[in-house]
Chains A and B, each alone.
Chain A
Amino acid sequence: MSNGSLWEYANPVKFMRLSGQVLPWVAGLAAACVVGGLFWGFFLTPDDFRQGSTVKIIFLHVPAALVAINAWVMMLVASLVWLIRRHHVAALAAKAAAPVGAVMTVIGLFTGAVWGQPMWGTWWVWDPRLTAFLILFLFYLGYIALWSAIEDAETAADLTAVLCLVGTVFAVLSRYAAFFWSQGLHQGASLSLQPGTRMDWAYKAPLYVCMAGFTLLFLALLLAGTRTEIRARRSRALMIRERMAA
């Protein structure tokens, strides 16, 4: 199957070769964007008229939240690819994405708490956005727990993929249920593709750099994690072969 399609990289050998070449670049770019964006955001932007310098936590908060949600979307896509086309790389990529997504969720929640304390006067409120995010974290936990509980790799990949599909439906349901359940303090979306923006470019430009940086960081961690999983599986296969030979 050498027709140059995307599915070629479902072959672990080809994936390893390509990802090995790409990874240093992605990681370097991610580091540059994250460090540069955060520096720009923290030190080179003016203080907000009302929020003072606390507003600058947005440069961590929003990118982390962005990655936390999109990591789950990526897991959903990878799970579908695994269930439909049974490419092992997809299953391992979904496995590698989960801890990154979970950590990003924690970063989003933590920075939100630190930001909320001076602004709203409380570390935590049961605001629908906050609640939905906490629920997303619970779904990450369940997904990771199921991966680690099952010994057989193929069974684990199948079951976690099914859990990811069902979990997506229920996570979305929970989000809307949480919005139904209470009105919140959290502001609506400040960034939007539609005209009539609510944020000044002095903030928006470094924020976009940070968002790109966190996305690249996720990609780098994802590639590194997937490569680790593939290597772990190879070494396990080698060990079994050795034991059989002995």
Chain B
Amino acid sequence: MIALLLRDLRLAFRAGGGFGLGLGFFLVLAVLVPLGVGSDPRTLALIAPGILWIGALLACLLSLDRMFALDHEDGSLDLLATAPIPLEGVVAVKALAHWLTTGLPLVLMAPLLGVLLNLPGAAYGWLIMSLLLGTPALSVIGAFGAALTVGLKRGGLLLSILVLPLYIPTLIYGAEVVIRGAQGLDTTTPLLLLAGITAGSAAILPFAAALALRVNLR
């Protein structure tokens, strides 16, 4: 399983792996928003938590369709399915690799974009904390969506219709943490709920995703 993780990471970092595309998208989005809504610092401070979370969501979504599709095309997914490690484990490792290459860089970059969007000073810690707790859920939920659509030719657009509604609870609690943090309110409840969603998704969704993969490989 560690070998699989290293392989996925190596594939992502090397040329053509698409590493950094999500980050680039995140940056472009954070630049576009002030251009669209105006540069008033108060407005930006008000919407910054939501924009950063939605940006992270969409950046995650961008790289999802590659998660299983490339392996499906060259046949290595069939090998993984027949390998001695359970397919649920493969899904979990793939989701982890996706998080390490997409979610974690987003977490690290979000404070910089927070500066661009005039995020209030008190919120930076909560922004990092909420993204750190929430983005793994995005990767796992995304792995489920990618497993559903792996056999389809035009799966990309369908994937977003399937996955984005599933992201709603994560988004609500994640953005709520940052908003409350910015106002100096107590963030314990949304933070715990966010962590609960991540833990629950990580526990259940690899099984659903593995089931979907088996159906698609049949």
Contacts and interface: CB of A to CB of B under 8 A. Distances in A.
B161 A139 contact: no
Interface stretch (B7-15, B51-59, B62-70, B204-212): B204-212
Given A155-B151, A155-B218, A174 B208 contact: no
A146 interface: yes
Given A158-B215, A159-B216, A180-B193, A166 B166 contact: yes
Interface in B181-218: 189-190, 193, 197, 204-205, 208, 211-212, 215-216, 218
Contacts of A155: 151, 215-216, 218
Interface in A77-103: none
Nearest to A136: B165
A142 B165 contact: yes
Chain A interface, DSSP helix/strand/loop, else mixed: helix
Interface string A135-159: 1001101100110011000010011
B151 A174 contact: no
A170 B201 CA distance: 10
A163 B148 contact: yes
A184 to B, nearest CB: 14
A35 B204 CA distance: 46
Contacts of B215: 155, 158-159, 162
A173 interface: yes
Contact of B197 (A150, A158, A162, A173): A173
A149 B152 contact: yes
A162 B165 contact: no
A174 B155 CA distance: 24
A41 interface: no
B168 interface: yes
A176 B152 CA distance: 33
A32 interface: no
Interface stretch (B24-32, B128-136, B169-177): B169-177
Contacts of B197: 173
A57 interface: no
9 contacts: A138-B161, A142-B162, A142-B165, A149-B152, A149-B154, A155-B151, A173-B169, A174-B165, A181-B172
Interface of B: 141, 144, 148-149, 151-152, 154-155, 158, 161-162, 164-166, 168-169, 172-173, 176, 189-190, 193, 197, 204-205, 208, 211-212, 215-216, 218
